[in-house]
Amino acid sequence: MDSIHQLNHQLEYLNRIGTALSAEQNIDKLLEQILVAAKTITGADGGSLYLMNEDSTALRFAIVRTDSIGLAYGGTSGQPIPFPELPLCHPDGTPNHTMVVVHAALTGESINIEDAYDAPGFDFSGTRKFDQNTGYRSRSFLTVPMKNNDNEIIGVLQLLNAIDPDSGAVCAFSAASERLARSLASQAAVALCNRRLIQQLAELFESLINLINLAIDEKSPHTGGHCQRVPELTMLIAEAIHDADEGPLADFRMSDKDRYELKIAGLLHDCGKVTTPVHVVDKATKLQSINDRIGLIDTRFELVRRDARIACLEAIAAGDDAARARAALDAALARIKDDQAFLHRANIGAEAMREEDQRRVAAISETYRWQNAEGEVQPLLTDDEIENLTIRAGTLTAGERAIINHHIVATIRMLEALPWPRHLQNVPEYAGGHHERMDGKGYPRGLTREQMSVQARVMGIADIFEALTAKDRPYKKPMTLSESLAIMARFSAGGHIDPDIFEVFMRSRVWRRYGEQFLEAAQLDEVDIDAILAAARS
C-alpha cells in the first residue's frame, strides 16, 4: 500500500509539473524546472541536463545541480557552466559511445547504471576525477534521452545518486523511477520545443519588422533612423510613467507583455512609409523632386543674362551711347544676380517665409522671360515652381504634406489587416495614434485625449521629440535640448501633446538620457526644467 501511495503521489506530481512546464516562458527557468522535477520524482541527489548544440555535433551542459555538496551551475544560479561540450564523434569521425550521455543521444536508449565505478564499456574517468577533487562519491546514474514530437533527440537528462527514502543511503534507480524519468523527459522535450518555437517565431516576427524598417531606411537614409529611435524613446517615457508614484498617472503600470506590445507598436509606428514616394520623404529643398529643380531655374537665368548682353550689343550697334548701354547692362546683371540669389535662399525652406518674400517670387517670375526650344516665350517660373518656392514653412507643398500624412493611414490599414494575437491586439491603436492631438485636431481620426490610450499618447511625444532633435535631416539643423523642449512646452500648452505625460517626461529627465545616447554633444545644452514646465502650463 505504501508503494501504491508513493506511485500515486509521483504521478500526481508528474501531472502538475507537466502543466507547469507548459506554462513557463523563460527557457532558463524551464530547464531548471525540468531538472529539479526529475530529481524530485526519482529521489536523486544530483543531475545534469544537456542540450544538443546548434550544428548537432555535441552536447552542451545546460544546467547542473548536486544538492549534498551545494553544486549549482546554469539556470537561475547565475553561475556559468565551466564544463566543455561533449562531442558526438571522436576526432576520427567514429561515434563516441564511450561516454554514457553521448551514447544515450546517439542511440535514443535510456541507461540505468548502479555503480559508475563498475560500468564496463563506458568511460567515467571524468566522474572519478570530479569525485577526487570534491570528496563526493558518484554511484548510481540514470541517463534518459529527450525526444521531441518528431522523435528527434534534442538533449539528455542525467540523474545522479538515487537516495533511499528510508535509509538515506545511495541506491540504484528503480525501474519505476526510470519509467517516470522517461515520461518526464518526453514532456520536457515537447515543452522545450514549444517554447523554442514560440521564441523563434517571435524572433522571426521582429526580424520581419526590422526588414520593413530596413526598406524604409533604404528609401530614405535621412529618416530611416527615426524608426529605430522612436521605439527607444517611447519605452524610456513609458518606463518613467510606470515608475511614477504620484500625479495623475501614478496608477499606470506595465507587465512584461505590455512592454513587448508597446515595443512592437513603436517599431511599426511608421511602417506605412513604405508606400510614400521617396522624393517626397526625402525632399530637402522646396524645388527638389527627383533632382533639385533650382538648376533648371539657374539655366533660365543664364538665358536671361545672354539676352540682356545681346540686347546691349544690339543697342550699341543701333547707335545708342555705348557707356550708357553698358551701365544699363551692368545694372540688369546685378538685379538678375540678386534675384537669383534670393530664389536660392527661398529654395532652402529653413525659416518661415514672409508674405512680401512670397510676393517677390511671383514678381520675379513676371519680370523675366525666356524662350524655349519651340520658340515660345515663357515666364521665368512655372506655376508649380512658384507654388513650391512660396511654401510658407518647410519644404513641402500642401499636396506633398498630404502624401506624407497618408503614411499613418497606410500604417493603420496595414496593421489592422493583421490577425494579431491577444497579447498584441493593441498594436494598431498604439502605433496609429501618434499623429493625433489631445484637442482632437490631429489626424487621421481626430481623436481626443480621452479617446486615446496612455501608450498612444506616449508615442506621440516620442515621435515629435525625435523629429525635433534628429541630426540626420537634410532640410533642417538639429535642435538643442532646450530649443526642442521649449517647442514641446508650447505644444503641451496648445493641446497638441498630453501635459501630464510631458511633465513626467521633463521631471524624469528622460530627454537627457535619450540625448546622451543619440544626440551630438553640441545639442546637450542646459535646460531650465521649471521654466519649461511653467511654459507648458500657460
* Spatial CB neighbours of 37, under 8 Å, sequence gap ≥ 6: 13, 17, 21, 184, 188
Question: Is the residue at 518 inside a domain?
Answer: yes
- Tell me which DSSP letter residue 520 carries: -
Q: Are residues 40 and 182 in the same domain?
A: yes
- CA-CA distances (angstroms) from residue 337 to 213, 301, 308, 442, 481? 44, 9, 13, 43, 39
Pick the closest to residue 309 from 326, 294, 323, 292 (CA basis): 326
Predicted local confidence at residue 538, as pLDDT: 81
Return the C-alpha torsion angle 436, 437, 439, 441, nearest 10: -60
Checking if the pLDDT of 107 tops 90, the result is yes
Cell numbers representing residue 123 in the block: 568511460
- On the 0-12 / 13-18 / 19+ scale of CB atoms within 10 A, 443 is middle
- Tell me which DSSP letter residue 527 carries: -
* Spatial CB neighbours of 269, under 8 Å, sequence gap ≥ 6: 227, 230, 231, 411, 430, 431, 434, 459, 463
Are 512 and 525 a contacting pair, CB within 8 Å?
A: no
Q: Are residues 155 and 10 in the same domain?
A: yes
Which helix (H) or strand (E) element contains residue 307? helix 294-317
Are 395 and 474 a contacting pair, CB within 8 Å?
A: no
Q: How confident is the model at residue 279 (pLDDT cuts 50, 70, 90)?
A: confident
Predicted local confidence at residue 143, as pLDDT: 96
Opening angle at CA 32, ends 30 and 33, nearest 5: 65
Question: Is the residue at 204 inside a domain?
Answer: no
Cell numbers representing residue 208 in the block: 520581419
Backbone CA torsion sign across 396, 401, 405, 410:
negative
φ/ψ bin of 276: left (φ > 0), alpha (ψ from -120 to 50), beta (otherwise): beta
Question: Who wins on pLDDT, 253 or 537?
Answer: 253
Predicted local confidence at residue 19, as pLDDT: 57
* SS3 at position 108: coil
Question: Is the residue at 174 inside a domain?
Answer: yes
Q: Are residues 461 and 369 in the same domain?
A: no
Predicted local confidence at residue 215, as pLDDT: 78
Q: Are residues 434 and 497 in the same domain?
A: yes
Cell numbers representing residue 65 in the block: 545541480
Integer Cα distance of 281 and 401 in angstroms: 10
Tell me which residue range forms the domain holding 16.
2-198
Per-chain mean pLDDT for the chain = 89
Q: Are residues 73 and 112 in the same domain?
A: yes
Q: Are residues 264 and 301 in the same domain?
A: no
Q: What is the largest CA-CA distance in the chain?
A: 135
Segment 298-310 mean pLDDT: 94
Checking if the pLDDT of 414 tops 60, the result is yes
Question: Who wins on pLDDT, 516 or 478?
Answer: 516
Question: Who wins on pLDDT, 283 or 66?
Answer: 66
Q: Are residues 372 and 333 in the same domain?
A: yes
Helix-strand-coil percent breakdown of the chain, rounded to 5?
Answer: 60, 10, 30
Predicted local confidence at residue 277, as pLDDT: 82
* Residue count of the chain: 538
- On the 0-12 / 13-18 / 19+ scale of CB atoms within 10 A, 423 is middle
Question: Is the residue at 363 inside a domain?
Answer: yes
Predicted local confidence at residue 476, as pLDDT: 66
Are 458 and 241 a contacting pair, CB within 8 Å?
A: yes
Whole-prediction pTM value? 0.70
End-of-domain residue from the set 395, 412, 439 = 395
Q: Are residues 31 and 167 in the same domain?
A: yes
Cell numbers representing residue 260 in the block: 513587448
Q: How confident is the model at residue 222 (pLDDT cuts 50, 70, 90)?
A: low
Pick the closest to residue 333 from 364, 357, 306 (CA basis): 306
Checking if the pLDDT of 430 tops 60, the result is yes
- CA-CA distances (angstroms) from residue 259 to 249, 333, 372, 508, 515? 17, 64, 61, 19, 22
Q: How confident is the model at residue 196 (pLDDT cuts 50, 70, 90)?
A: confident
In one-letter notation, the amino acid at residue 285 is T
Q: Provide the number of structural domains found in the chain.
A: 3
At what angle are helices 499-507 and 510-518 packed, to 10 degrees?
A: 70
φ/ψ bin of 337: left (φ > 0), alpha (ψ from -120 to 50), beta (otherwise): alpha
pLDDT tens per residue across span 116-155: 999 998 999 999 999 999 999 999 999 999 988 788 899 9
Backbone angles phi, psi at 288, to 5 degrees: -75, 135
Question: Is the residue at 28 inside a domain?
Answer: yes
Cis peptide before 80 (omega within 30 of 0): no
DSSP sequence for 405-424: HHHHHHHHHHHHTS---GGG
pLDDT tens per residue across span 315-324: 999 989 999 9
Question: Is the residue at 401 inside a domain?
Answer: no
End-of-domain residue from the set 395, 430, 446 = 395
Are 136 and 66 a contacting pair, CB within 8 Å?
A: yes
Predicted local confidence at residue 139, as pLDDT: 96
Predicted local confidence at residue 327, as pLDDT: 94
Checking if the pLDDT of 12 tops 70, the result is no
Q: Are residues 142 and 238 in the same domain?
A: no
Q: How confident is the model at residue 101 (pLDDT cuts 50, 70, 90)?
A: very high
Question: Is the residue at 50 inside a domain?
Answer: yes
Integer Cα distance of 477 and 284 in angstroms: 12
- On the 0-12 / 13-18 / 19+ scale of CB atoms within 10 A, 1 is exposed
Q: Are residues 70 and 16 in the same domain?
A: yes
Integer Cα distance of 87 and 156 in angstroms: 13
Pick the closest to residue 474 from 296, 298, 293, 347 (CA basis): 347
Q: State what percent of residues in the chain have pLDDT above 90.
A: 65
Predicted local confidence at residue 3, as pLDDT: 57
Q: Are residues 190 and 226 in the same domain?
A: no
Q: Are residues 73 and 108 in the same domain?
A: yes
> How many beta carbons lie within 10 A of that of residue 281, not counting itself?
18
CATH of residue 137: 3.30.450.40
Question: Is the residue at 359 inside a domain?
Answer: yes
pLDDT tens per residue across span 333-365: 999 999 999 999 999 876 788 999 999 999 999
- CA-CA distances (angstroms) from residue 387 to 358, 381, 395? 9, 10, 11
Most confident of 78-92, 191-205, 230-244, 389-403: 230-244
Predicted local confidence at residue 33, as pLDDT: 82
Checking if the pLDDT of 24 tops 60, the result is no
Segment 362-369 mean pLDDT: 94
Integer Cα distance of 368 and 377 in angstroms: 10
Q: How confident is the model at residue 223 (pLDDT cuts 50, 70, 90)?
A: low
